Amino acid sequence: MSGQPVVVTPAVLREWPLPQAGSGKESRGQVLVLGGSRSTPGAALLAGESALRAGAGKLVLATVADVVASLAVAVPEAAVVALPRGEGDDIAADAVDDLRDRLASADVVVAGPGLTDPEAAEQLIKAVVPHLESVLVLDALGSAYVTEHPEGLHRLGRRVVLTVNPTELARTAHCHLDEVETDPVAVALRVAERSRVVVLCGGPDKHVVTPDGSAWTIAGGGPGLGVSGSGDTQAGIVGGLLARGADPDQAAVWGGYLHARAGERLASEVGTAGYLAREIPAQVPQVLAELSA
């Protein structure tokens, strides 16, 4: 990597405009969210709503059969797919048999929000990857697949954004957390180069690093974003931007900024801490409007 990361500002983003959102839902892409569990169904909801708020045209939520009825009511904009559950709370790896048509028709797959067991997550993603032809956002415990299979996503040709927190990045990079805290960009670059993915790492500041060494830093957001479900919304935002035509590096940079700015807006309205992850998605269209003004 040459030079320092670019600090993301509104001016930087205005010089790198997103593709215009199409007028019809087909032109804005279909996002498939693969995640949630019997104990954390809301993660799929948060990621899915965030994808729509960022401009995706169609949404499919695929999660364990135990919770699809409630999700169908909570997100009437989405189609829902009931999947078998493994021995624990998470989606079984053999759920891929029920997903092949959905994977084929999706423009973007957001995999990982709400998965609770690293081993089960690794097995699920391992089963899904051979059937992927779309762009992939691999979130949270979905990163367990990259930990165990560092080169497993090469076949997707860099059409992957890995959205992780510092602890997940450390596990993926096989290093200690203090190394991430000392130099998150360097650690993210190792993962990006090795696995050929764009890395978006959260934390007090966000960092985006690409396989070719390009890097951006997104400051701000505030402590209120450190709340349960916040990462799910960020993964969904990135997925929605990809669905409307953004490249992986652009979607990661814009997605990280939109998430941070949504947190700042809520901090000014509600308080520095105490707002809920479910309140983040509704802020996204307003931030997009600010950046296009």
pLDDT in tens, 109-135: 999 999 999 999 999 999 999 999 999
pTM confidence score: 0.97
CA–centroid distance for 230 within its chain = 10
Task: Give the separation between CA 293 and CA 288, rounded to whole angstroms.
Answer: 9
pLDDT in tens, 176-191: 999 999 999 999 999 9
Q: Do residues 114 and 42 lie in contact, with contact meaning Cβ atoms separated by under 8 Å?
A: yes
Domains for the chain: give ranges and CATH numbers. 6-292 (3.40.1190.20)
Query: 10-15: long-range contacts (C-beta < 8 A, 24 or more apart)?
Result: 10/290, 10/291, 13/253, 13/254, 13/257, 13/291, 14/291
In this prediction, residue 21 carries a pLDDT of 74
pLDDT in tens, 190-217: 999 999 999 999 988 999 999 999 999 9
Q: Is the pLDDT of residue 218 over 60?
A: yes
Q: Is the pLDDT of residue 2 over 90?
A: no
17 phi-psi bin (left φ>0, alpha ψ -120 to 50, beta other): beta
